Amino acid sequence: MPKNLFPLDNSKKFTNQKHVGHNRWHPDIPANVTVKPGEVFRADCREWFDGAIKNDDSADDIRNAPLAGVHVLSGPFRVEGAEPGDLLIVDILEIDSCDQEDSGPISGMGWGYTGVFANKNGGGFLTERFPDAYKVIWDFNGDVATSRHIPECSYVGIHHPGLMGTAPSAELLARWTKRETALIATDPYRVPPLALPPLPDSAILGSLKGADFERVAREAARTAPPRENGGNQDIKNLTAGSRVFYPVFVSGANLSFGDLHFSQGDGEITFCGAIEMGGFMDLRVDLIKGGMEKYGVRENAIFMPGLRDPQYSEWIAFSGVSVDSKGKQHYLDSWLAYQNACNHAIDYLMKFGYTDIQAYMILGTAPVEGRLSGVVDIPNACSTIYIPRSIFDFDIRPSATGKPHQVKQGMQVPRSAN
């Protein structure tokens, strides 16, 4: 087992650990650990809410989810010799869950959760249809996830970090703040908001103290959006065996990561989101000096996805086009078309006896494939969502002679009104 350079005790809050990580992006958050190019190491990660979500049958904790405190990230890891313009190679060697009730990572004994935020607390991709808060608990049996809240469905998870990235330079951070603040100004009272401005409340900034802490808390970027440094990209295919190349913006690169997922569908449409878990990653880092210029890599990560995927090869897929619920035509809007494809799939699954929220939770967490099937045929974008057929314990296909199997409902998905 590689040396654990960032051990976390799951019985303690994130701010009481040996190494205190961070939950904002800023170039002045000091590195916690230094690693050398070529070095292999392990790091623990808390799930993104630092233990606020419980393994029970109430969604009140999701309704009241402390969003100002996310994401709790392990790091920063300073990589010796890294300079702006380099590419940081990160190999994900292993990633697994731990028992969040217990101390230390214990492979294969964990559980995880998926939430849908209430409309007033961030919402989700289909927040018009699901304005309340919901929660589903998943049990991990090796690599397979099952839930007492969703009958007759199980699947192989594809573990990945939802969030990983390098620290921004001061110049890049200023660009983020400028453009996101300008967006918010176009509709400042929107619910949910258009973006999240810097927020000193609940900021965790590693070992920073005093006046430096106050300044960085005011300036630092929130971790919710993916940006040029990688960040919260929620790419489900960053499984073990993946190699990611991050642009380096500051001396030492200052790599950080967290928000581990047991499994997720493309788009993380439920927003809270995937199957969220605590756990660990084994990583190897290396450098390509001057790699950004050498390979024409823009300010955004490139990657080679992992080799460890579930063996799903048969799908049922749903399509949608860019027309909204009021019948208005939109121009090549793939986001809207994907919403329609997802709503389409939910309607279909409900014919098999699932509730709408059970179907939504399946689409957010099972290894479904979302695709931009057409983006040029004016005026309609066509987006599609592919669901693996064998995740269901019954035949999900339409047939001319049979009728839809009806799942046997047990415990419903916990809901907490907005």
Residues that bind Zn ion (CB under 5 A): 162, 259, 273-274, 276
Would you say 65 or 274 has its CB closer to Zn ion? Answer: 274
Q: For the CB of residue 111, give the shortest distance to Zn ion in the complex, in Å.
A: 15
Q: For the CB of residue 48, give the shortest distance to Zn ion in the complex, in Å.
A: 5
In whole angstroms, what is the distance from residue 65 CA to residue 118 CA? 10
Q: For the CB of residue 36, give the shortest distance to Zn ion in the complex, in Å.
A: 30
In whole angstroms, what is the distance from residue 261 CA to residue 92 CA? 14
Q: What is the 3-state secondary structure (H, E, C) of 350-392?
A: HCCCCCHHHHHHHHHHCCCEEEEEECCCCCCCEEEEEEEHHHE
Q: Which is nearest to 352 in space by CA: 316, 305, 311?
A: 316
H-helix or E-strand spanning residue 96: strand 87-97
What residue is closest to Zn ion based on CB? Answer: 162
Q: For the CB of residue 172, give the shortest distance to Zn ion in the complex, in Å.
A: 23
Would you say 274 or 301 has its CB closer to Zn ion? Answer: 274
Q: For the CB of residue 276, give the shortest distance to Zn ion in the complex, in Å.
A: 5
The number of CA neighbours under 13 Å toward the Cβ of 381 is: 19
CA distances from 361 to 89, 124, 196, 339 (A): 34, 11, 25, 14
Q: For the CB of residue 256, give the shortest distance to Zn ion in the complex, in Å.
A: 15
Would you say 8 or 321 has its CB closer to Zn ion? Answer: 8
Would you say 162 or 252 has its CB closer to Zn ion? Answer: 162
Would you say 228 or 259 has its CB closer to Zn ion? Answer: 259
Residue 215 per-residue DSSP state: H
Residue 329 per-residue DSSP state: B
Would you say 78 or 135 has its CB closer to Zn ion? Answer: 135
Q: For the CB of residue 265, give the shortest distance to Zn ion in the complex, in Å.
A: 12
Q: For the CB of residue 170, give the shortest distance to Zn ion in the complex, in Å.
A: 28
Would you say 105 or 115 has its CB closer to Zn ion? Answer: 115
CA distances from 190 to 184, 187, 196, 274 (A): 9, 6, 12, 25
Tell me which residue has tokens 């099952």: 146
Q: Which residues contact 386 (CB under 8 A, 6 or more apart)?
A: 315, 316, 317, 368, 369, 370, 371
Helix ranges restricted to H, 201-355: 210-219, 291-294, 334-350
Burial class for 95, CB neighbours closer than 10 Å (0-12, 13-18, 19+)? buried
Would you say 21 or 27 has its CB closer to Zn ion? Answer: 21
